[in-house]
Structure 1
């Protein structure tokens, strides 16, 4: 096969010249037929229904992040890391970095819009000599990242819902439902089963569910910020405290404490590239998905600030919040601000519902990422996982595989009270690695293929690439660290263990099978389509 730098157009329904015309001179048509033709030119048979518009893709991307819910379940990390400064400025800093990641991925996705996402992109952009191993590394990282982030969302939902119920107390400081480990695990199982059932059985309704989630989020956030600021039963801080107060409580040195506290923002924004897995269910993926990725990060940044700033204004005693056994301070913050259990529970209800919607969206992304990697032989017993259920129009087997792995990893909770830290940490690490792979090979290759898409950012794109790669180098060791020290057997961060475990599985499978039999995605004579159109 020739190098990717020797790309050329193919005589297929998806071949376009630089003026946006097909090779036969007909104008480009924005419809599923053209998108399917492009997919065929990239080497795949269309198997999924293209039922999502640009807005619906953006809505799904927004739901995957689920800003108010994601920030709520991980609120403990910036509280330990440094308090107000970590919460506000940490969020803004990470959001700007993730915007660079999103822009970098958007450029590449405009050229390679397939459900394989960053895995396929890494293969196509890499030099021929290294493309198999790069794609293998990226593919496993992407699949593991999707699965562990979904696990973190569903497990975090279980813990959050229990904390919401416990705003009702049977005695001061004692909630009405002090769940044991096995009860928490059973709630996690129920949420996981529900998310998989909805994703599998209601595929055609999922775009509408994502749309509903947008309005639900807006209404919920407005209710929260208005009520906590107006009532503020526990008092209000001044602006100086909100924007300048920095009190590390993690036990780490000051600078590192701030960095470890960034897990809240990193976890919430880690879903940035997950929506790429939906490329084969979008009518015009080379345009719609890049727009959705970047637009959603901007929207999420604003939504996060709108949600966080009012919460920080009414923060009660931080040491007491950090010491909560549940690890979920937001319900306690709400109760302090509202002054009664019923009112705070009603304000938390929109976040609990959004948690379930986020879980459904993540489950959908998991099934597509597993399916896409399996159809290229990257997973053991791929023939089972690459099948699309014709009745449901979803890769049901791949979805079930993801669910089983999530449940198995969830058992870690019986050995560590901070298991959520491991789930969220390894999810951020592996997704960050997977995003870095195509960005790195594109950058090192001189960004030649970006010019063949319709989303080339030029010099700005180079800057975004550098920022994205620098963040990736920092994130891997950073989120392997425990959120606070000293560490006990119950509070140790199992993220490195889970991460290394998956690395070993991927390595062994490569040497047992992949080294001789894995060839990577189909390349159609190594062709890369020039699908650039005028305008965006």
Structure 2
């Protein structure tokens, strides 16, 4: 710009230029339909072209591949520690039916949700994809409030993920300590300090550079598969049931039978066990939040989502099948003084050394799961803060110059996690952070899908990975499943006089109370500063109309290294010919 405010195109010309027309990129974004062109001072590849067209600067290094992205999400899934931590909601509600055929039925709905999310992720490859997609597909009048609700619901899931996993890890460690030393007396503060230590180390790892995180999670994925396999083999081949005068395995009727331990009818009881499979499988959204750090994101991200959900679903079922065929006493496992059903189960069928070894596998994997949860949570806080969605957003949207990762967001989430873990001293509400992870995740997962099959049915731009003609039917199944489960996930195990404060389902207070406060905050103040996703690209690089023509002409006449246009295969291509041909490209 010149001193008299007259536009001078030569003032922004640099030695290497890329002119990118937003409307040439097959995505729907906050910049779409406005004849916007971006003048970038370096050559860009397809991934950067897409994220720029979506309205955001490329701030991360793209050092995740399909396999390493899958590694993070599979670690977040953490099958072994997730199953161990959620037996309260499957085995304790419906007996073996909750971990066998009940799990299978629940997986049908979960897979529908995962497939629908994968399709959306191929179009909106941003770290805040769920809430960004909601804003773009919602009616203009409601885009801000709907994206606000989805963003906060998903954030509640992310911020409670690491502390809940850390708490589960600490509980397993202390249960093993009780087995090793019968004189040990469990105290709540022991569990709290152990949880603090586990999550503190996890936060350090989550603050590392992307390349380090990719490597660490590749190793943790291998450990997940290895420990799961070893545990499975020992449970089947190395159990001590015969030494106890029992058959090697339970009969089919026992392994698949329902043992209703709630005050509800059998049908409601089975639906309530879905809380376990929903919480266990909620980690498949992690690739979405890592999309800005993944190469070939429009294909790798949805593939990683589907791979995580399908592989996790199958392996989880097979593992729980082994548990159902070998457990000795369900009531004893659930109500054991150890306070951890999985460790209590192992203690029923194994010698003490084997219990310690197999239990240690679950502890190690719970630790890797905790820092993987922190990685995903930090990307969510970072991406939402770019749009001023949180208090003090300017601090949480910063990328550390040394690590190229959102370190501030990691430690903000860690501190909030410490506060949440104080619930364990209340004695009644700590388990609610697990149910928040279930209900909050699937609400945030499904709102974009609901918009996709209703208001945005015709306007949605499909990415290179899509469901084709199965998109609408899959979305209907996904939305129906979640709409059914929303009230069920709030049900307590017992009702009437049996529903005492220590047995109450505190999701009603913890999740819905928090969401109520968030919505009230929006209408009282936040609506003044939050209007939905917004571009963070430097205004000097965004040009339009006559201004764009002047800039392009100046760029061409400068004889610098210039690239124009967009090609679906090569991303950005140099177009020879006249200025008009270049402009049209």
Could you state the TM-score of these two structures normalised by the residue count of structure 2? 0.81
Equivalent pair of 1:416/1:492 in contact (CA under 8 Å): no
Q: Which residue of the other structure, out of 205, 209, 219, is the alignment partner of 2:216?
A: 209
Equivalent pair of 2:74/2:284 in contact (CA under 8 Å): no
Which position in structure 2 is the counterpart of 1:429? 439
Q: Secondary structure at the match of 1:447?
A: coil
Which position in structure 2 is the counterpart of 1:369? 380
Equivalent pair of 1:454/1:533 in contact (CA under 8 Å): no
1:180 aligns with 2:187: yes
Shift of 1:463: 1.6
Shift of 1:268: 0.2
Shift of 1:91: 1.7
Q: Secondary structure at the match of 1:488?
A: coil
Q: Which residue of the other structure, out of 427, 436, 450, is the alignment partner of 1:416?
A: 427
Which position in structure 1 is the counterpart of 2:360? 349
Equivalent pair of 2:255/2:324 in contact (CA under 8 Å): no
Which position in structure 2 is the counterpart of 1:222? 229
Q: CA RMSD in A?
A: 2.5
Shift of 1:504: 3.0
Task: State the alpha-carbon separation in 1 of the partners of residues 404 and 302 from structure 2.
Answer: 24
Compared with structure 1, are the counterparts of its residues 47 and 491 closer, same or farther at alpha carbon in structure 2 (3 Å cutoff)?
A: same
Shift of 1:167: 2.7
Q: Deviations over 1:104-147 (max 9, x none)?
A: 01111111100112011101111212111111111111111111
Task: State the alpha-carbon separation in 2 of the partners of residues 492 and 400 from structure 1.
Answer: 32
Which position in structure 2 is the counterpart of 1:439? 449
Q: Secondary structure at the match of 2:399?
A: coil
Which position in structure 2 is the counterpart of 1:59? 71
Equivalent pair of 1:76/1:327 in contact (CA under 8 Å): no
Compared with structure 1, are the counterparts of its residues 326 and 119 closer, same or farther at alpha carbon in structure 2 (3 Å cutoff)?
A: farther
Task: State the alpha-carbon separation in 2 of the partners of residues 207 and 513 from structure 1.
Answer: 40
Shift of 1:15: 4.1
The correspondence of residues 139-218 of structure 1 with structure 2, limited to 5 A, is: 139-170=151-182, 176-201=183-208, 203-218=210-225
Which position in structure 1 is the counterpart of 2:306? 294
Task: State the alpha-carbon separation in 1 of the partners of residues 437 and 236 from structure 2.
Answer: 34
Q: Deviations over 1:157-199 (max 9, x none)?
A: 11122123333252xxxxx433211111111111111111111
Q: Secondary structure at the match of 2:179?
A: coil
Which position in structure 2 is the counterpart of 1:111? 123
Which position in structure 1 is the counterpart of 2:369? 358
Task: State the alpha-carbon separation in 1 of the partners of residues 269 and 484 from structure 2.
Answer: 14
Which position in structure 2 is the counterpart of 1:474? 484
Which position in structure 2 is the counterpart of 1:518? 530
Which position in structure 1 is the counterpart of 2:259? 247
Task: State the alpha-carbon separation in 2 of the partners of residues 272 and 161 from structure 1.
Answer: 26
Compared with structure 1, are the counterparts of its residues 258 and 531 closer, same or farther at alpha carbon in structure 2 (3 Å cutoff)?
A: farther
Task: State the alpha-carbon separation in 1 of the partners of residues 490 and 363 from structure 2.
Answer: 28
Which position in structure 2 is the counterpart of 1:135? 147
Which position in structure 2 is the counterpart of 1:379? 390
User: How many correspondences in the alignment?
Assistant: 504
Task: State the alpha-carbon separation in 2 of the partners of residues 163 and 116 from structure 1.
Answer: 38
Q: Which residue of the other structure, out of 83, 92, 102, is the alignment partner of 1:90?
A: 102
Could you state the TM-score of these two structures normalised by the residue count of structure 1? 0.88
Task: State the alpha-carbon separation in 2 of the partners of residues 305 and 260 from structure 1.
Answer: 17
Shift of 1:369: 0.2
Shift of 1:334: 1.5
Equivalent pair of 1:117/1:277 in contact (CA under 8 Å): yes
Compared with structure 1, are the counterparts of its residues 123 and 461 closer, same or farther at alpha carbon in structure 2 (3 Å cutoff)?
A: same
Shift of 1:517: 2.1
Equivalent pair of 1:14/1:37 in contact (CA under 8 Å): no
Shift of 1:363: 0.3
Bigger drift between 402-411 and 195-204 goes to 195-204
Bigger drift between 354-363 and 424-433 goes to 424-433
Shift of 1:479: 1.8
Which position in structure 1 is the counterpart of 2:288? 276
Q: Which residue of the other structure, out of 312, 315, 322, is the alignment partner of 2:324?
A: 312
Q: Secondary structure at the match of 2:212?
A: helix
Task: State the alpha-carbon separation in 2 of the partners of residues 136 and 32 from structure 1.
Answer: 32
Q: Which residue of the other structure, out of 232, 236, 239, is the alignment partner of 1:232?
A: 239
